[in-house]
Amino acid sequence: MIELSHIERIFHVGDQQVHALRAVDLSIARGEYTSIMGPSGSGKSTLLNIVGLLDRPDSGTYQLDGADVTSLSEEQHAHTRRDKIGFVFQSFHLVSRLTAAENVELPMMLAGIEPAARKPRVQQALQAMGLENRAHHKPEQLSGGQRQRVAIARATIMQPAVLLADEPTGNLDRASGLDVIAVLESLVEKGMAVVVVTHDPFIGERARRQIRMEDGRVVSDRTTTPPLREPLFGN
Amino acid sequence: MRIADILRFSVNTVRGNRARTVLMLFAMAIGVAAVVVLTALGEGARRYVTSEFSALGSHLLIVLPGRSETAGVGPSMFVAQTPRDLTIDDALALRRIAYVQRIAPLNVGSAAVSYLQRSREVPVIGTTSEWLEIRKWVMDQGQFLPPEDPTTALAVCVLGGKVRNELFGAQPALGEWVRIGDRRFRVVGVLGGQGRSIGMDVDDMVMIPVASAQALLNSSSLFRIFVETRSREELSLAQESIVKTLAARHQGEQDVTVIAQDAVLATFDKIFNALTYTVAGIASISLAVAGILIMNVMLVAVSQRTAEIGLLKALGAPQQQILRLFLSEAMLLSIFGATFGLALGALGVWGIGLVYPALPVQPPLWAVTAAVGVAVGAGLLFGVLPARRAARMDAVQALSRR
Ligand SMILES: Nc1ncnc2c1ncn2[C@@H]1O[C@H](COP(=O)(O)OP(=O)(O)OP(=O)(O)O)[C@@H](O)[C@H]1O
Ligand SMILES: [Mg+2]
C-alpha cells in the first residue's frame, strides 16, 4: 500500500544542513502492525510526517495505493490525508473548546458529510473507545488516556487505511499507555495498518514488524511470526 | 465543508473567546454607531433648515443692508464700510417695481410686554400687513396688522399664542391694551400656532407696525425687507431692479444684498451635505481603526491557534478551507459588530430625538448602508492577512507547537 523509495529529507538551519532522512526505502502492506524505534533525532517523526503527507521529501518517490503522490498538489494531499490517513499525536491535539463528540466529528465536518450521517458514527466511535458517557465533556474534563482515546476515535472516524501514531503513549502513565496500545491493536485486528513510533521497547516489541532507525537510515527491519504476544486484555 | 458547519465552527470559536469578541464587537459597534448618529445629526440639521426655508415660499427675495460679497480685490475691500440704513421709504420704493407683488419691511428687537401685573421680555417684530400673506401665517383670533401706510406708527399689536396665554390666561385678549416697552398698544389679533419659522418662535413674539417698532426700538434702519415677486420666473429680473432702485436711492452705491430664498436653500443644502459627508468620513475612520483591531486580534488568534491549524491540516483541511474558516470568523465578528452598532446608533438617534424633538434626526440610508458595508468590508479586508497566514502555515511545525 505504501511504497517509499530513496526518500531524502534535508533541513536547512542557517547554512547548516541536517540530513534527517537518507535514502529510506520502506513499504508497508495493508493491515500491517509496524513500530518504529530509534534514538532521538534519528528521523522517526520526519519519516512519519512524509508517510502522512504532512511533509514532502526532497527527493525520492512515494506511492500510495499504487499511485505516485510525491508531486500532488497541496489540496490533493489534504484530501488524501482526509480519506486515507489517520494521525495520533503525543500531545493529543484535541480542540479544547469542543466536546469529545465534536472533536471526533471534526474530520467528517471538514469532509462535508451530512450532519445526520455524522451523529451515529460519532456515537459508535465513542462507544468503541468506552467513552459513550464522556461525549459532552470538554478535553480538560478528561484524563490523559481518555483524551488519547478521543483522539484515536477522531483519527479513525473516516476509516483510513493507515493510522500513524507518533509516541501516542509519550504523555501517559504506564496503565493508560497500555490502554491506548490495546485500542490500537484492536484496530489492527480489524484490518487497519498501524504505524507506532515509540521509545518504549515493551510497546515497540509488541508490533509484528519492528523498524529501527539511526541517523536518518533504516538500520533494521524485522518481521516476527505471530502471535508474538498475548492480547493485552481479554477482548 | 458545509456553510452551516463553517458558521457553526466560527460561532463556536467566537463564543469561546468572550473578552476578545466583546472587545472587537465594541470597536466595530462604536464605529458604526458613530457614523449613524453623526450623519443623522447632519441630515437632521439639513432637513430642518430646508423645511424652514421652503416654508418661506418659492418666489421670495430678501433684502439686507450691507454687501456680503466683494468682487475682486479693490479699494473697497479695505474701506471700512458702514452701510447706509435701509429705510421704510426704501421699502416703499421697491413696491413700485413692476415685478413686485408684496413687500414687508422687518424690524426686530426685544422688549418687555406687560398686562396688569404680568410682564415678559419677548422678541418684538415690526412689519406691515403684507407679512401675513408673504409668510402664509394664519390668525387664531382677530386681525393681523391693518393695511395702513407703513410710515404711520399705529398703536396696535398682534400677540403670539404663548404670549397671549401668559399675559391673559383664560381672559379674552382682543381689544385689551398692553404695554410694550414704554408705550401702550391695543391687541388686535392673536397668531395661530405655526410652530417655529426660520429661527423665530411664532408663539413667543409680539408683532407691531414697522414704524411703531422703529420708534419703540429707537432705530431708523430696517433689519430686512421681504419682497415677493409676482412669479418665480421674475425672480432675477426683480433682483436686478431692486439693486438698481436702491442704488439710485443711495447715491449710486450698491450697499445692499439681495438673496433669493432658493439660493439660500441651495447653499444651506450644500453646506449641510458637506457637513454630513465630513462627519461620515471622520466617523468611518473609527471603522478603519476597528478593522485594524480585528486584524490584530485575528493575528493573535492565528498564533494562539497554531496547533489547531496544524491539526485541521492533518485531518485533511486544504489551505482554502482554513482560509475560509478564519475569514468567516472575521466576517462574523464584523457583521455582529455592525448589527450591534446599528442598534446602538438607533438608540442614540432616538435619544437625540427625545432631547431635540424639533430636529428631524434620521440617518440617511446611504450612510447606514455605507457604515455596514465598510464594517463588513474592513472585517473581510483585515481578515485576509491573518487568514492567509493561517492557511499557509507549515503543518508539521504548527503541530509541534502546543
Ligand atoms: N523543521 C526542522 N528544521 C530543522 N531541523 C529539523 C526539523 N525537523 C526535524 N529536524 C531535524 O531532523 C532530525 C530528525 O528529527 P525527527 O524529529 O524526525 O527525530 P525523531 O527521531 O522524531 O526524534 P525524537 O525521538 O526526539 O522525536 C533531527 O536532527 C532534527 O533536529
Ligand atoms: Mg519525534
Residue A231 lies in a domain: no
Count of structural domains within chain A: 1
pLDDT band at A61 (very low <50, low <70, confident <90, very high): very high
Give ipTM to 2 decimals. 0.93
Residue A232 lies in a domain: no
| Residue A233, C-beta contacts closer than 8 angstroms, at least 6 positions apart | A182
Asked if the model's pLDDT at residue A214 lies above 60, the reply is yes
For residue A49, report the distance from its CA to the centre of ligand 2, in Å.
Answer: 10
Q: What are phi and psi of B7, to 5 degrees?
A: -65, -45
Asked if the model's pLDDT at residue A229 lies above 80, the reply is no
From B328's Cα to the closest Cα of chain A, the distance in A is 15
pLDDT at B56: 66
Q: Pick from A11, A36, A164 the residue to mutate for probing ligand 1's pocket: most ligand atoms within 8 Å of its CB.
A: A11
The continuous run of DSSP H or E covering A211 comes out as strand A209-214
> Which has the closest alpha carbon to B342: B29, B96, B19, B71?
B29
Contacting residues of A for B311, CB less than 8 Å apart: 93, 95
Residue A173 domain boundaries: 2-221
First to last CA, chain B: 25
pLDDT at A86: 96
Q: A10-20: per-residue pLDDT in tens?
A: 999 889 999 99
Contacting residues of A for B321, CB less than 8 Å apart: 78, 110
> Which has the closest alpha carbon to B237: B61, B54, B56, B38?
B61
For residue B302, report the distance from its CA to the centre of ligand 2, in Å.
Answer: 24
Residue A233 lies in a domain: no
Asked if the model's pLDDT at residue A232 lies above 70, the reply is no
Q: Pick from B306, B393, B396, B399 the residue to mutate for probing ligand 1's pocket: most ligand atoms within 8 Å of its CB.
A: B396
Give the ranges where B175-318 is alpha helix by DSSP (H): 210-217, 235-249, 261-304, 306-314
From A74's Cα to the closest Cα of chain B, the distance in A is 7
From A221's Cα to the closest Cα of chain B, the distance in A is 26
Which ligand 1 atom minimizes the distance to the CA of A199? 25
**Residues B16, A154: C-beta atoms closer than 8 Å:** no
Residue in A closest to B8 by C-alpha? A109
| Residue B146, C-beta contacts closer than 8 angstroms, at least 6 positions apart | B129, B154, B156, B188
pLDDT at B78: 45
Contacting residues of A for B13, CB less than 8 Å apart: 97
pLDDT at B361: 85
Q: Which three cell numbers stand for residue B98?
A: 413692476
A116 Cβ inside 6 Å of ligand 1: no
d(CA B346, CA B32): 10
From A22's Cα to the closest Cα of chain B, the distance in A is 19
Which of A48, A93, A167 to mutate to test binding with chain B, by most B CBs within 10 Å of its CB?
A93
The least confident of A148-157, A186-195, B56-65, B233-242 is B56-65
Which ligand 1 atom minimizes the distance to the CA of A49? 18
Residue in A closest to B320 by C-alpha? A75
Identify the DSSP state of A139.
G
Residue A229 lies in a domain: no
**Residues A81, B12: C-beta atoms closer than 8 Å:** no
Q: What are phi and psi of B40, to 5 degrees?
A: -65, -40
Residue A125 lies in a domain: yes
d(CA A37, CA A210): 8
**Residues A81, B314: C-beta atoms closer than 8 Å:** yes
| Residue A92, C-beta contacts closer than 8 angstroms, at least 6 positions apart | A139, A144, A147, A148, A150, A151, A171
Name the average pLDDT for chain A: 92
A117 Cβ inside 6 Å of ligand 1: no
From B300's Cα to the closest Cα of chain A, the distance in A is 17
Residue A42 lies in a domain: yes
Residue A127 lies in a domain: yes
How far, rounded to the nearest angstrom, does the alpha carbon of residue B194 sit from its chain's CA centroid?
20
Residue A122 lies in a domain: yes
d(CA A37, CA A212): 5
A16 Cβ inside 6 Å of ligand 1: no
Q: Which three cell numbers stand for residue B354?
A: 427625545
- Candidate from A49, A79, A115 with C-beta closest to B316: A79
| Residue B33, C-beta contacts closer than 8 angstroms, at least 6 positions apart | B341, B342, B344, B345, B348
Q: A78-135: per-residue pLDDT in tens?
A: 999 999 999 999 999 999 999 999 999 999 999 999 999 999 999 999 999 999 999 9
Burial class (CB in 10 A: 0-12, 13-18, 19+), B248: exposed
Ligand lying closest to the C-alpha of residue A51: 1
The length of chain B, given as a count of residues: 402
pLDDT at A228: 53
**Residues B399, A111: C-beta atoms closer than 8 Å:** no
Q: Atom 30 (ligand 1): residue with closest C-alpha?
A: A41
Residue in A closest to B396 by C-alpha? A54
d(CA B266, CA B393): 58
Contact criterion met (CB below 8 Å) for A196 and A184? yes
Fill in the amino acid letter for A163: L
Q: 10 Å Cβ neighbour count for B196?
A: 15
A49 Cβ inside 6 Å of ligand 1: no
d(CA A123, CA A180): 19
What are the distances in angstroms from CA A224 to CA A195, A210, A218, B18? Answer: 15, 8, 17, 55
pLDDT at B79: 44
A18 Cβ inside 6 Å of ligand 1: yes
Torsion sign across C-alpha atoms A40, A41, A47, A49: positive
The 8 Å CB, 24+ separation contacts for B170-177 are: B173/B141, B174/B141, B174/B142, B176/B115, B177/B115
The least confident of A128-137, A154-163, A194-203, B73-82 is B73-82
Contacting residues of B for A171, CB less than 8 Å apart: none
For A22-34, what is the mean pLDDT? 94
Which of B315, B323, B329 to mutate to test binding with chain A, by most A CBs within 10 Å of its CB?
B315
A40 Cβ inside 6 Å of ligand 1: yes
Contacting residues of B for A54, CB less than 8 Å apart: 313-314, 395-396, 399
**Low-confidence stretches of chain B (pLDDT beneath 50):** 70-80
The length of chain A, given as a count of residues: 235
Tally C-beta pairs within 8 A across A and B. Answer: 72
Q: Which CATH number do you get for residue A133?
A: 3.40.50.300
